[in-house]
């Protein structure tokens, strides 16, 4: 039961954090380079700009859900299993999500990197 | 990519791994939380180790958002996954969890993946990207 709960929480983490990552990445691309913006307009402007971007807030909501799922999973299993296992699956889900929703050019190099990292992370989880 | 941007990626790695490690330490002290006591999760964040972990994860989040503002998601995620290597070292030497030979092999694969993506371009160029006036002015300034 303990393992089943841990893996269910891991599935929730993957789904929520992929949704969150895609929304946050989209929001940040809309705003543009935060470092440049801070130098030109100041930190207060950057913060106001970020929190007034709807996709940032939706992304944050998804990430909060992922965070509580992580706490839940951590109460049942080791961090060296939970963090890599959820991340491994999130890598694959994110590569697919970034390609479909963000139109990122996921070339051979990035697919190989995603698969190597996901595979490595899966081995770490065994 | 310049030094400032590499430092931001380093921040993502260090704050992320140490934040996760502190959360783990705190949750271990709190013990297993059964599903019907889910309210306990809300109060878990006031536990000192968990609170410190949350603080570090906020720093992680700020670095992560900054990285995403100038690099692709499919670049930032593999490039910062070296954090799992760091996390394995923390798990072994600080939290005293068991890190097996298979786990070390996995860590080697992760490192290989990081090396692979780090050689490529950081950002997909969208010629007709929907941009705000500010972002547009910035990219004109850089060109």
ipTM, 2 dp: 0.78
For the segment B32-46, the average pLDDT, to the nearest whole number, is: 75
Residue length of chain B: 143
List chain B residues with CB under 8 Å of A40. Answer: 138
Asked if B20's CB is within 8 angstroms of A83's CB, the reply is yes
Interface check B55 vs A, CB under 8 A: no
Tell me if A50 sits within 8 A of B65, measured CB to CB. Answer: yes
How far apart, in whole angstroms, are the C-alpha atoms of residue A90 and residue A69? 14
Q: Report residue B72 as tokens.
A: 């692709």
How far apart, in whole angstroms, are the C-alpha atoms of residue B114 and residue B75? 9
Q: Which residue in the set A25, A78, A103 is minimally distant from B97, CB to CB? A: A78
Residues with Cβ within 8 Å of residue B23, at least 6 apart in sequence? A70, A71, A74, A79, B49, B50, B53, B54, B57
> How distant is the Cα of B142 from the closest Cα of chain A, in angstroms?
10
User: What pLDDT does B79 receive?
Assistant: 81
Q: What is the band of B135 on the pLDDT scale with cuts at 50, 70, 90?
A: low
Mean pLDDT of chain B: 80
Residues with Cβ within 8 Å of residue B69, at least 6 apart in sequence? A28, A29, A31, A32, A33, A34, A35, A37
Q: Which residue in the set B68, B116, B135 is minimally distant from A25, CB to CB? A: B68
pLDDT tens digits, B102-121: 888 988 888 888 877 777 77
User: What pLDDT does B142 receive?
Assistant: 47
pTM for the whole structure: 0.75
Asked if A75's CB is within 8 angstroms of B31's CB, the reply is yes
Residues of chain A with pLDDT under 70: 1, 80, 125-126
| B99 HSE (CA, 13 A, CB side) | 22
Q: Report residue A45 as tokens.
A: 């402007």
């Amino acid at each position: 039961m303990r393992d089943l709960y841990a893996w269910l929480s891991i599935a929730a983490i993957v789904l929520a954090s992929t949704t969150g990552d895609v929304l946050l990445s989209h929001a940040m691309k809309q705003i543009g380079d935060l470092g440049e913006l801070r130098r030109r307009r100041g930190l207060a402007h950057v913060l106001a700009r970020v929190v007034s971007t709807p996709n940032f807030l939706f992304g944050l909501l998804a990430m909060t859900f992922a965070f509580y799922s992580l706490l839940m999973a951590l109460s049942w299993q080791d961090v060296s299993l939970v963090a890599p296992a959820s991340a491994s699956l999130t890598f694959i889900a994110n590569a697919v999500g970034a390609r479909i929703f963000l139109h990122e050019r996921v070339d051979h190099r990035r697919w190989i990197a995603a698969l190597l990292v996901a595979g490595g992370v899966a081995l770490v989880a065994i | 990519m310049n030094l400032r941007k590499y430092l931001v990626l380093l921040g993502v790695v260090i704050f992320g791994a140490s934040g996760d490690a502190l959360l783990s330490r705190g949750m271990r002290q709190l013990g297993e939380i059964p599903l019907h006591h889910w309210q306990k999760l809300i109060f878990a964040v006031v536990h000192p180790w968990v609170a410190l972990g949350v603080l570090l994860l906020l720093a992680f989040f700020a670095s992560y958002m900054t990285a995403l503002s100038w690099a692709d998601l499919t670049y930032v995620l593999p490039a910062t996954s070296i954090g799992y290597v760091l996390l394995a070292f923390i798990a072994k030497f600080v939290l005293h969890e068991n890190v097996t030979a298979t786990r070390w092999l996995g860590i080697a694969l992760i490192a290989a993946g990081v090396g692979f993506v780090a050689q490529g371009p950081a950002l997909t160029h969208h010629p007709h990207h929907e941009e705000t006036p500010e972002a547009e002015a910035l990219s004109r300034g850089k060109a």
